[in-house]
Amino acid sequence: MNKILCPVDLEPPSKNAVCYAAHLAQKTGATLFLLHVEPEISTEGVNDEIEKQKLFDLRQKMADFCHQIQTNFEINCEYIIKPSYFEETIITIANEQGFDLIVMGTEGISDFEDFVFGTFTLKVVKHSKPPVLVVPAEWHNYTPEKFIYASDYDEYDPIFIRKVVDLAIVLHAKVIYLHISKHGETFGDELFEVSSEEIKEELGAKSEYVQFEHMYDEGGTVKALKRYLQKFESGVVVVLKKERSVIGNLFHRSLTKKLTLAAKMPLLVFHRYRTKQFPKK
Cα 106 to Cα 13, 98, 121, 133, 137, distances in angstroms: 6, 23, 7, 10, 6
User: How is the chain split into domains, by residue range?
Assistant: 3-136, 146-271
Count Cβ atoms below 10 Å from residue 219 Cβ, excluding itself: 11
Domain 3-136 has what CATH class? alpha beta
Predicted local confidence at residue 119, as pLDDT: 60
Beta bridge partners of 179: 151, 214
- Residue 31 and residue 97: Cα distance in Å, rounded? 13
Q: What is the pLDDT along the chain (281 residues), one digit of tens a residue?
A: 899 999 988 777 788 999 999 999 999 999 999 998 876 554 454 467 777 788 788 889 999 999 999 999 999 999 998 876 656 778 888 888 989 999 988 764 343 334 334 566 777 877 788 999 989 888 889 989 999 999 888 889 999 999 999 999 999 999 999 998 887 777 889 999 999 999 999 999 999 999 999 998 877 777 778 788 888 878 899 988 775 433 223 334 455 555 555 557 898 988 876 544 443 43
**Superfamily, domain 146-271:** HUPs (3.40.50.620)
Pairing status of strand 77-82 against strand 31-37: parallel
Distant-in-sequence, close-in-space partners of 146: CB < 8 Å, separation ≥ 6: 173, 174, 175, 176, 232, 234, 235, 236
Predicted local confidence at residue 105, as pLDDT: 85
Distant-in-sequence, close-in-space partners of 102: CB < 8 Å, separation ≥ 6: 4, 5, 6, 7, 90, 94, 124, 128, 130, 131, 132, 133
Predicted local confidence at residue 213, as pLDDT: 95
Q: Which residues of 65-80 are buried (b: 16+ CB within 10 A; e: fewer)?
A: bbeebbeebebebebb
Predicted local confidence at residue 260, as pLDDT: 56
Q: Find, among 226, 90, 75, 50, the residue nearest to 150 by Cα.
A: 226
Within this chain, domains 3-136 and 146-271 share the same CATH topology: yes
